[in-house]
Chains A and B, each alone.
Chain A
Amino acid sequence: MAAKIKYNDVKAGDAIPTVTIDNVSRPDFVRYAGASGDFVPLHYDQTFVEAAGIPTVFAQGMWTAGCLSRCLTDFAGAGQVRRFKVRFARQVWPGDTLTCRGKVTGKSEKNGEKLIEGELEVVNQKGEAAVKGSFAVAAA
């Protein structure tokens, strides 16, 4: 696909588009369970989580990572992502509001492609990081 960004127009320190996820809710986790097949009961079964000593269900980490990945496809175009890595730092709970954001840290060329590299994070309404990540996307 045609890349959305031009290599020469991007520099280290540039912010990439922010994605806001308002009012995280249990239906998000159930919808993601159905879409992904991730039926680990920690994410929708209140009886199960209470028995495990956890106050309530929380988001699948990969749901949050999926929300974050939209920053990259909005920035570079779907199909332009070359590397996406996430580390899960803290749970995302019903009622949270998430800010998914990132910035460019460098540029390189690999296998004849021009790559933009950077870091990413998802923070909750208290400013706590739920996910930290890094990326490489292809530019024109």
Chain B
Amino acid sequence: MPIDKSIVGKTGKPFTMPIEWSKVREFARAIRDPNPVYFNPELAKKECGGVPVPPTFLQVAAFWMGEDSMPAANFDLRRILHGEQEFEFLKPIFVGDVLTGTSRIADVYEKAGGRGGKMTFMVTETEYKNQKGEVVAYARGTLVETGQAVGG
């Protein structure tokens, strides 16, 4: 499939991400993090001012936002790799916050790969604002479509 540069700058429909305690503690357990601040709200309130979220928790949004919120390239699922991911935090995020995320395609480019052949890269940036309208975080992800299946 030829590279389609016209999608750069395309912005998705803003989506809502409520920060819920049961998902936060389930996530902490899944990444094998026993830190009590995720499991004991009273302790978290005292130590952190609220139940914080693990640094990669915002990634959850990627799988819950509607299709119209994620401006995506037409990649082949069997050949997709998640190349890079970055989170930048500007303000605290706590359980009880309701975030609004807006994603845009920041870049699309091709590179010659090694064993995977030609690779297509897509960089998306999602800005998160809290219920007070403050920008709290940016998430930047790079997806790679390889020339052949990704395992082995």
Could you list which residues of chain A lie within 8 angstroms of chain B, going by C-beta atoms? 1-2, 21, 28, 31-32, 34-42, 49, 52-56, 58, 61-63, 65-67, 69-70, 72-74, 77-79, 81-88, 91
Contacts and interface: CB of A to CB of B under 8 A. Distances in A.
User: Chain B, interface size: which category?
Assistant: 35 or more
Given A2-B47, A82-B89, A83-B86, A55 B52 contact: no
A61 B30 contact: no
Interface string B56-77: 1001101110000000000001
Interface in B33-85: 33, 35, 37-38, 47-49, 52, 54-56, 59-60, 62-64, 77-78, 80-85
A83 B59 contact: no
A36 B87 contact: no
A84 B54 CA distance: 11
Interface of B: 23, 26-27, 29-33, 35, 37-38, 47-49, 52, 54-56, 59-60, 62-64, 77-78, 80-89, 92, 148-152
Contacts of A56: 151
